[in-house]
Structure 1
Amino acid sequence: MSKTTEQVRQSLAKRYRAEKRFRAFGIASIAFGLLALLLLFTDIIGKGHTAFFEHYIQMEVTFDADTLGIDDATNQDQLNFANYDGVIRNALRERFPQVQSRGQKRELYSLISTGAGYPLRDMLASHPALLGQTRTLWLLADDDVDQYFKADRQGREDSRLTPEQKAWLTSLDDNGQVKKEFNASFFTSGDSREPELAGIWGAVCGSFFTMLVTLLLSFPIGVAAAIYLEEFAPRNRFTDFIEVNINNLAAVPSIIFGLLGLAIFIGLFGMPRSVPLVGGIVLTLMTLPTIIISSRAAIKAVPPSIREAAMGLGASPMQVVLHHVMPLAMPGMLTGAIIGMAQALGETAPLLMIGMVAFIVDVPAGPVDPATVLPVQIYLWADSPEQSFVALTSAAIMVLLAFLIAMNTLAVFLRKRLERRW
């Protein structure tokens, strides 16, 4: 008896040790995953937080009519084609009169962004009386200047600025003529070849229209398909074949849907490239399996007693579904739809195949206007050679992650808020 008891104790001790090792491995795996996620977020935030700020340089700008080439400040055509770069260069030469050679002047002019003239045009259009007057203005700095002030200025070997440019900037900074402000244009502007002018608003609008088309198509079609397959479809080989293919489509690589959209919607139907309408249709095909599967699971979770009670009171099969089953299954359907939309929001490969990788400056006004989306915008910026685009890429990733986290949080909230327990 004692020998048997000892064997049982040894067996239990061995089992407990195995259980502790399993728990330790599980905790270590979770800790490793959290550490990797922390390192990823730290790297993205560390590189991207500087993109939310930009530097300006103070200058005494004279709106000289001869330099601008205009004589009527109320004439919109003259304002659009005026030489604003000329008055900015005049201001730089007045600030640094010692600069004489052509090469030094070229270096001096490059301190100010090529887009600094647009605010001058807007000011002159709003206040025509400024023509011929001098104003103290803050002009947007070039991206190389912005990078120089954002990073440690001591011993930067990778700076593209010359020693003369650094000396001029030091003089401006010592006199309080350099300031850092929030980069509002990052959230209000479209894409640009110049990093200091580039923004994500065009990509955000493109993502919005693309997701709108995807939602309007995928949710009703997916829910209708789930209801038919779960409540009305006969159980035969044909429906089994459909169910197997729906499950298989959920695992198909997203680029395959892009090739399908390229061949069918663009090649066969002749729809335009790089528009949210085509992108939304392609993403609808990709998200339909996810919505159908989650909707069917939500319908299955409704107790059969609900259906039996409704039919016992004389309700038709359609009334049972529309008045009783769907309201109870809707939280699960919405959760699946939001998760599918979040997956579609982060997709890049299918949109690259239908041409949404084009360089689009204008902000789209509708689903048929040329546009890009946030993931593709990130891809474009990551491939740009300028150092400033590294920060813009990380900042755009932060915005995209914020959208994805918000959508998944909404899905969890809806599930907790609307679910019913039986």
Structure 2
Amino acid sequence: MRLAPLLALPPIALGIAAAVWMITSAPGPAQVEGAAPALPVRVMTVAAEDIRPTVTAWGNLRAAETWIAVAEVQGEVIWRHPDLEPGRLIPAGTEVLRIDPADYELALAQAEADLAAFAAESAQLTAEVANTTRILELERERLVLAEVDLARVRALTEQGTLPQSRADEAERATLLARRTVAELENSLALIPAREARIAAQIARSEAAIARAERSLENTTLTTPFDLRVTEVSAERFQTVAPGQVVIRADGIAAAEVVAHLAIDSFRSLLGDAPDSITLADMMHDGPAGWIEVTLSPLSDPAQVWPARVMRIEGALDARARTVPVVVMVDDPYEGADPPRRLPLVPNMQVGLTFQGAPLTGVIAIPEAALHGGQLRVVGTDDLLELRPVVMAFAQGGRVVIAEGLSPGDRVVIDDIAPAIPGMALTPVEAPE
């Protein structure tokens, strides 16, 4: 009874051994050779083209010229132009305000009277000089005669012919003549000092006249150019003081706006301009087609105004680190027909389009085809290649490539996820 399990062991071992032999000697699974299917993508074949760099910006308009009228004299406002109201347009050379000139007319009359008095004194001094000169000549002749007579009397006195009293009289007469000559010479010597004093007084009177005339001129305020009044702070019968601002106005001949351009965008406007040409030359004296600017109100983009770059302000924007470019538009009121066509007035928001010097033979691709400084290019055997490139600038949804692409390269414009270098592609040329 106990030998029955032992008798069953040899058949089981034999079965296990047979199974191991069959597994180890059986052939492996058949391998079928094949490749992953190629991914169809849209591509564009790049070619060199000519592009004119375009930069857009916006800003607030301001008047190119402003007039701040400050009272230079004190007095009562006696007349005010009927059109001197905020918003009114006033042509150049129009008298708009008049201050009472009575005090300054009196000051002018007084100064002119003083000048006349000093002129008369100067004429009197001239006559006095002439008279004194003639008298001095006579007194000198009399002195000569007195000295001759004194010598003769002294000789006769020594001979005993004349008494000593006669000699004393001759001596006194000679001394008196000498004194008279000396006094006249002293009077003539003082004439230059008197002339200088009178000349100074005349000059002072002339200065007073000029000051009074200038004050009289300043009693009237006249517009220096065509303008639009923005503020008036002087009323009729009101007394104004020197230094008081009475009128503020904006010129209407031109308006300007400061456009803040990124440094790279600003640099791209230079295009293919020669190195010898400066930006100032391109702004003002460059040939047509270098830098052109158009301006449109944001409230009415259909209005287009030609403009021009005037200057660059003195410093970069402290926060945005942009270049402040001042653009001017002439005759901002031309063709104004509110509300159909509004004039370009201060504080109006406008958009600006800058077109720089043309770039020749450059390569541009859609901006969406650039992925973090790399392009997906169809390489040899239609395999995907990730190629690093250098971007020059972007505009209008396109990117200008400075380095990394050549004409004839095929750029993938579809988004591939994941993009694995070497993956097979089926390129399909996208329509332009």
TM bucket, shorter chain: under 0.3
Task: Give the number of the structure whose residues are more often helix, by fraction.
Answer: 1
User: Structure 1 length normalisation: TM-score?
Assistant: 0.18
Task: Give the number of the structure whose residues are more often strand, by fraction.
Answer: 2
Larger of the two Rg values belongs to structure: 2
Which of the pair has the greater relative contact order for Cα pairs under 8 Å at 6+ separation?
A: 2
